[in-house]
A and B are shown apart, each in its own frame.
Chain A
Amino acid sequence: MSVKTSPPPRARPQAAREHPSGDPRFNLIDRTLKRFSYQQDALIEVLHTAQETFGFLSDDLLIYVARQLKLPLSWVYGVATFYHFFTLKPQGKHTCIVCMGTACYVKRAAEIVAALQQAFHVEPGGTTADGLLSLSTARCLGSCGLAPVLVLDGEVLGRETPESTLERVRQLLLTERSEAAPSANGDAVHVTNGGIHEPI
């Protein structure tokens, strides 16, 4: 199968309204599509935008991207499943990413994962049955000086222990269940989708 760098196809300004769902979020995807003039090479960039906007890549989303870029759906699916960053399943309300890089591993990050797994009955890469907590592991967050590191709802937390992590996650879920606002941690960097957004 060959994918050629085709000249930009005819612009489709009505694309957002064409989509049966009528979801305004598709406008964001269209903006990225336009920025790369509908080039098929921009598939990964478009998928990045799609995941940022929707949180995960649903079948509809993949079909939409495939049509817009005039790529076979199998090609888009192949790329979306190849990269770890893309997820095809909806994520829980809260996310906990435990770094399993070498430095964190040497400092026993595996015990943190095991503790979370046991306490909340969730496998790494999965979501709890009530949809509240997604647990995942990361390869290396590059904060090895603070190992072991985890990212809890966008906050990078360093020098964790299994106990302190369990306590934090329990607190988080507790406030969630009592429907209070989640407490903010002053010493935190805000992160979405496993990435780190700069606060300055």
Chain B
Amino acid sequence: MNRSDLEALAQRELQRQQAFRCRILCCASTPCLSSGATAVYDAINAAIKEGELDAEVQAVSTGCMGPCSRGPMVTVQVKDEGEFIYEHVSPEVGRQLVTYHARSAASPAEELPEPLRTRLLPSDMPFFAKQKKVVLSNSGLIDPERLEDYVARGGYAALAHALREMTPEEVCREIINSGLRGRGGAGYPTGLKWDMVRKARGDKKYVIANGDEGDPGAYMDRTLMESDPHRVLEGMAIAGYAVGADQGYIYVRGEYPIAAKRLERAIRTAERRGLLGSRILDSNFNFRIDVRIGAGAFVCGEETALMASIMGRRGQPTPRPPYPAQSGLWGKPTLINNVETFGNIAPIIQNGAEWFASIGTAKSKGTKIFALAGKVATTGLIEVPMGITLREIVYDIGGGIPNDLAFKAAQTGGPSGGCIPAQYLDTPVDYESLKALGSIMGSGGLIIMDEHSCMVDVAKFFMEFCMDESCGKCVPCRVGTVQMHRLLERITDGSATLQDLETLKELCVMVKETSLCGLGQSAPNPVLSTIQYFLDEYEAHIRERRCPAGVCTLEKTPVTEWVHA
């Protein structure tokens, strides 16, 4: 396949899609599937068949649309009328959608027949209006299993452009100019990393996409891999061309079988069409991608541990330097980026570095995907421009805290991040601002907590996580996390003294400074940030033996102390 074949394929697919009067897009990503999306899709297909509407109505099973707590989600695109997004669609509602939209021209939203009216989401809903989709621009609109759908929306055009009109050096320069930074959490400039691998000497180089998204509460990478697998593959292929690699690995968490399956299928179709494999798009560039499935180890998100796991070993990190850019997989120069980072590449090449750099803040460019969860009205997956405030995310996009409770804290960055209290709700979300608050951008988990969440308990939860997930290679992390967890346990069961709090702080600094890899270095973050902002809660647990949020059961209640006093 060459460039004109690619364009012809896109044209053919567009024409095919435009032949339908009405396209019904049904979300088929994990959260909607667990709410019964399969039955909805089947019911819609059955209704199309019964009504003999095959020529006018097309049902498509797509990726994630965003508001996961409102699933199963269905979007109806009607020619000349626009889009209608429905929440909580049951098989019965699905059938009604078909008969209604296929036949009648849509009436204003207020005049829709029940039960469609109550399930229609307003078109100006802030959940959608405040977002900016760059990486997820195809998610929820295309069938992730069909290459044609992706090509019709401009897919693989960036790869074709890069191969034909750019040198590897120019590709790296473009990425540097765009200001894109790693989306895995640390925020290292992507272009610089690419340039380093490009300049590294070696007969063989590798590209790895890190899809080992271990942070509890984060599922951005999974959704991207499930909803738009070709976007990730295209980004990896462009990276391979830029750094001079001919082999890529995409490391998928073992808990994400749907993502792995869709990626494998996407790789096979792309190879068949000559978009991956040998002589891509009739150029001299060869690039193969293999999927590697993880086996459940949080530490494998760390790059050196991930490479050990790809090589079939225990996923234990090794000291850096040497960095993977010099000596990675099997000792060869290796480029390793997060899946979401690769998702940004095709739009940058296609629209130019300047366009990308115009989104976001001075130092953090582009958009970021967050998995919004916890005590917020609409949970789900959102993509927002960098620099948006937390308040906009929580109150506009998320729709506020349910039951009229007060916002207490937002937890970003999972077990490596920290909690941001209510007084910083107006901080712009970018790498520097979050770091200044003692948290991190992280991979994108954003958990909202209300006044019923105990911050000491949350810190203990993350410490238990790090304790379980510590690989055991270095002492500060292996022993330190256990001791910190023990101290936190004493605080939450009421047997702690103020001295324990001091010991805890000391231990946090020590583990942070002396651990081998990111897991240990960042494990104390949740404790440090909660001590910084919620010291009163720690003190209430210790001095008054009372949990202000009412979560922890302390051995002695204040009432008995009053009696004895």
Contacts and interface: CB of A to CB of B under 8 A. Distances in A.
B68 A48 contact: no
Contact of B39 (A78, A106, A186, A194): A186
A79 B217 contact: no
B61 to A, nearest CB: 6
Contact of A145 (B31, B258, B261, B445): B31
B379 A194 contact: no
Contacts of B330: 5
Given A5-B330, A142-B219, A86 B295 contact: yes
A100 to B, nearest CB: 7
A196 B254 contact: no
Nearest to B445: A102
22 contacts: A3-B312, A39-B312, A44-B295, A82-B471, A83-B295, A83-B315, A85-B294, A100-B216, A102-B374, A103-B216, A103-B447, A139-B214, A139-B296, A139-B298, A140-B217, A142-B213, A144-B68, A145-B67, A158-B31, A158-B35, A187-B34, A196-B258
With most chain B CB atoms within 10 A of its CB, the pick from A44, A48, A138, A189 is A44
A105 B215 CA distance: 13
B373 to A, nearest CB: 4
Interface string A165-200: 000000000000000000000111100001111111
With most chain B CB atoms within 10 A of its CB, the pick from A5, A78, A79 is A79
B461 A102 contact: yes
Given A140-B217, A140-B218, A186-B39, A194 B295 contact: no
A196 to B, nearest CB: 6
A197 B34 contact: no
A142 B315 contact: no
B36 A187 contact: yes
B295 A48 contact: yes
Contact of B68 (A42, A105, A146, A199): A146
B30 A142 contact: yes
A151 B508 CA distance: 35
Interface residues of A, number: 50
A156 B30 CA distance: 9
Nearest to A103: B373
Contacts of A42: 312
A187 B71 CA distance: 12
Nearest 10 interchain pairs by C-beta: A145-B68, A83-B295, A101-B216, A142-B219, A84-B296, A187-B36, A156-B34, A144-B373, A102-B217, A85-B296
With most chain A CB atoms within 10 A of its CB, the pick from B217, B257, B380, B471 is B217
B295 to A, nearest CB: 3
A138 to B, nearest CB: 7
A83 B371 contact: no
A142 B374 contact: no
Contact of A144 (B38, B309, B379, B471): B379
With most chain B CB atoms within 10 A of its CB, the pick from A3, A142, A143 is A142
A83 to B, nearest CB: 3
Contacts of B28: 198, 200
Contacts of B31: 142-146, 158
Nearest to B299: A82
Nearest to B67: A145
Interface string B69-108: 1010000000000000000000000000000000000000
A195 B254 contact: yes
Contacts of A103: 216-217, 373-374, 379, 447
A144 B371 contact: yes
Contacts, number: 171
Contacts of A195: 254-257
With most chain A CB atoms within 10 A of its CB, the pick from B68, B298, B380, B411 is B68
A135 interface: no
Contact of B255 (A3, A138, A187): A138
Given A138-B255, A143-B30, A189 B215 contact: no
A141 B371 CA distance: 13
B217 to A, nearest CB: 4
Contacts of A100: 216
A157 interface: yes
B347 interface: no
B295 A187 contact: no
A47 interface: yes
B255 A141 contact: yes
B435 interface: no
A102 B411 CA distance: 9
Given A142-B255, A196-B258, A45 B293 contact: yes
A163 interface: no
A40 interface: yes
A171 B305 CA distance: 43
Contacts of A158: 31, 34-35
A139 B468 CA distance: 10
A145 B69 contact: yes
A59 interface: no
B366 interface: no
Given A5-B330, A84-B295, A85-B296, 8 more contacts: A47-B295, A102-B411, A140-B214, A140-B216, A195-B254, A196-B33, A196-B256, A200-B61
Interface in A24-83: 39-45, 47-48, 78-79, 82-83
A41 B311 contact: yes
B543 to A, nearest CB: 26
A41 B256 CA distance: 21
A42 B215 CA distance: 26
Contacts of A144: 31, 68, 217, 219, 371, 373-374, 379
